[in-house]
A = this chain, B = another copy of it.
Amino acid sequence: MPPELDADPATVDFETRATADDHMALRLWLRLLACSNLIEAPLRTRLREQFDCSLPRFDLMAQLDRHPKGLKMRELSRRLMVTGGNVTGLTDKLVEDGFVERRDDPTDRRAYTVLLTPAGKKLFRQMAEAHEGWVVQLFERLPPAKKTQLFALLGELKQSLGATELRD
């Protein structure tokens, strides 16, 4: 794409990195990344504006919501794509805000479990409902049959990625 074309704001994103002779895999990746960013950005903005909540904080609460008996810190870290130090910081803040509780593990004196408090569950339910509504809106112009096809193809991609080890 010549530089003058990408002055159009609608085309300014990661996909503008690709040029015509790039490999298909690279074009596919840049398009996937562009879509992911086009969806993530408004979700991030809305969560911040309406709930004063960051995406990592939302993801952490989502994991705890799926595990009502709580998770150990190392299990929680493994489930999130943020580093251990950040998980600790996010958890500390949620405890301070009254949305997460730490509970000693009777079987392991050095470990503890973290779980949502009733206030945390209530807040997460509100956020999750709003979040799902935004996601539904973002995808509503893509016809249902295309959604189903895309879901299936991404399933194949995900499976193939799980089986792939990068060589040097």
List residues of A whose CB falls within 8 A of some B CB: 3, 6, 9-10, 12-17, 19, 22-29, 31-42, 46, 59, 62-63, 66-67, 78-79, 81, 132, 134-142, 144, 146-151, 153-158, 160-164, 166-167
Contacts and interface: CB of A to CB of B under 8 A. Distances in A.
A19 to B, nearest CB: 8
Which 7 pairs show the lowest CB-CB distances between chains A and B? A141-B160, A25-B139, A36-B36, A38-B161, A25-B136, A150-B153, A31-B154
B38 A35 contact: no
A28 B147 contact: yes
Contacts of A81: 13-14, 37, 41
21 contacts: A3-B67, A9-B78, A16-B79, A17-B59, A17-B66, A22-B132, A25-B132, A25-B135, A25-B136, A25-B147, A28-B150, A28-B154, A32-B32, A32-B150, A34-B158, A35-B158, A46-B166, A138-B166, A141-B161, A142-B160, A149-B149
